[in-house]
Amino acid sequence: MAKKTLAAPLPTPLPENLSPRQSAVFLNLSVNQLAKWRHQGGGPAWSRIGERRIVYRLEDLRAFVASGLRKGA
């Protein structure tokens, strides 16, 4: 049986602001992990637009990934 996936392909070119679902796909994480990080004050920077909409700036997601890079021994 084929593996079920909830992730839709990301649009190209990538928009400046991504939804939590798009951000999770970009980072190869679950939407729940991003929500945990928001609640705990960790993870990539995010913004709230209006009362409910959460967005992640693409440049912040890239900076978050870059901050985790490690050099090999």
* Res 9: pLDDT: 79
Higher pLDDT, 39 or 5: 39
Inform me whether the pLDDT recorded for 27 exceeds 80: yes
Inform me whether the pLDDT recorded for 23 exceeds 90: yes
Amino acid at position 14, single letter: L
> pTM, whole model, 2 decimals?
0.81
CA dihedral 3, 22, 20, 67 (to 10 degrees): 100
Inform me whether the pLDDT recorded for 4 exceeds 90: no
The neighbouring-strand residues paired with 18 are 56
For the chain, give the percent of residues with pLDDT over 90.
73
Inform me whether the pLDDT recorded for 49 exceeds 80: yes
Task: Kindly state the average pLDDT of the residues 3-14.
Answer: 71
